[in-house]
Chain A
Amino acid sequence: MGEDKKEKRYKTGLLRSLWPYNFNAERYSYTLHRITGVILALYLIAHVFEIYHFALGPVAWEQTIALLGSLGIWEKIGLWIIAGSALYHGANGLRLILNEVFGMLLGKPVLPEYPYTPTSLSRNQKIAIYVILAIVIALWIWAGLYLLEGLGII
């Protein structure tokens, strides 16, 4: 076996795993969850770095604040993206905890009958996904308005 077998796997890898096109809503939320998770991780590192300057004394802290302030609108946009990420990652994370730790929203094991509709992706799960999305978008808009207000635009 295997001499003329392709060692490379067909259509695999990170980008593939983040590409939910053609699949179910859960896979789309998986992609969003991963991306928002990475954004939050990067933010956490930056945040620790920022707080570290606070420990260095008032001068260093003033400088850091000035540096962030010099970013102008970009600081606010960054914060807005981070707020959205935190909202989505948190809310969707709660849904996943219900699924994974408590086995909820999945339905019971059933006798499969054609046409097969997996109960784990059925009504309850979809309601949870869309309710989360609605709440997150509403709060995200609110956060955006709050940030704009801080800029004195509205």
Chain B
Amino acid sequence: MKVRIRRYDGQKEWWQDYEVDVKSSDTVLDVLNKIREKQDHTLAFRLSCQMGSCGSCGMVINGLPALACQTRISELKTDSIRIEPLYNYKVIKDLVVDLNEFVNKHRSVKPWIIRKNPEELEEAPIEFKVTPEQNLTFVQFDYCIMCGICLAACPTVAIDPLFLGPQALGQAYRYIADPRDEGFEERIDILDDSHGVWRCHFAGACSYVCPKGVDPAKAIQFLKKEILKYRLLHKKKAATKPAELVEKAPPPNAPKPPPFDFKFEGGV
């Protein structure tokens, strides 16, 4: 199979063609590994888990941003593959892009649970009760693995590199919808900004390419609704009812297991 890869070595860019023997069960990542092992060890790309859960291997495959380890050759239904680095990112080498800005955007929306009284998070006698129904209001957006693919598909990121992007906005909504969170007012000025949520015009490309079914476009539209409600009607976070604070159950008085007696048997 003919594989055409966009290369970059710090100075020049070029397309390079490889001929690879593939099995129908191979993923695009397997093909890249074959090239790196047998043909060209200078080819650079990221990988780690090889099972679609770390988000390292995002790249553009036949014109569509995707995870290489989750894209099977047989699914592509083409007799050649074109592989490029993610669109809208700066390229470091070959298929490796610079994710610094992306991670900083994620960080800027404060993706953690904020309580007005921070001690509640640490204080021992209290815990938060989240019902399964409440959990369902945000768990979808919690599936994000930070692969950055959605930003490569987003037409707004293409014209405004400072736009927070679907990933960060989706995560902002994930925490705003969380019944334990009280940080809406802390986040709203970051989100309701000229590079924030209103730059999204709902092209939906992020949801279309997201490999984890996160549907960030949906989260962003919900976020707009929440912000409008807050700004126009002064209603705060109607997304979910706040979680109940409950007393932590005392630790069970189970008898302690006997100390583990480990004897090493057998030679080295």
Contacts and interface: CB of A to CB of B under 8 A. Distances in A.
A121 B218 CA distance: 9
Contacts of A111: 136, 139-140
Interface string A1-42: 110111111111110111011111011001101100000000
B212 A10 contact: no
Given A11-B88, A13-B158, A116 B210 contact: yes
Contacts of B137: 109
B179 interface: no
Nearest to B240: A109
A73 B140 CA distance: 54
A10 B89 contact: yes
Interface residues of A, number: 48
B138 to A, nearest CB: 7
B203 A10 contact: no
Contacts, number: 158
B84 A120 contact: no
A103 B222 contact: yes
B110 to A, nearest CB: 20
Interface size class of B (residues with CB under 8 A): 35 or more
Interface string A109-146: 11111101111110001000000000000000000000
A100 interface: yes
B205 A24 contact: yes
Given A5-B90, A6-B90, A119-B215, A109 B224 contact: no
Given A10-B87, A14-B159, A101-B225, A5 B153 contact: no
B228 interface: yes
Contact of A100 (B11, B207, B221): B221
Interface stretch (B91-99, B246-254, B259-267): B91-99
Contacts of A91: none
A98 B78 CA distance: 38
Contacts of B100: 1
Nearest to B204: A26
A34 B202 CA distance: 12
A5 B92 contact: yes
B230 interface: no
Contacts of B161: 9, 12
27 contacts: A4-B92, A8-B90, A9-B90, A9-B161, A10-B87, A11-B87, A12-B159, A20-B155, A20-B203, A22-B64, A23-B208, A24-B208, A26-B202, A30-B204, A33-B201, A106-B221, A106-B222, A109-B141, A112-B213, A112-B215, A116-B213, A118-B204, A118-B207, A118-B208, A118-B213, A118-B218, A120-B204
Interface of B: 6, 8, 10-11, 62-64, 84-93, 97-98, 100, 136-141, 143, 153, 155-159, 161, 177, 201-205, 207-215, 217-219, 221-222, 224-225, 228
Interface of A: 1-2, 4-14, 16-18, 20-24, 26-27, 30-31, 33-34, 96, 99-103, 106-107, 109-114, 116-121, 125
Given A6-B92, A12-B88, A16-B155, 9 more contacts: A4-B11, A26-B203, A27-B203, A30-B201, A96-B202, A109-B139, A112-B140, A112-B214, A121-B217
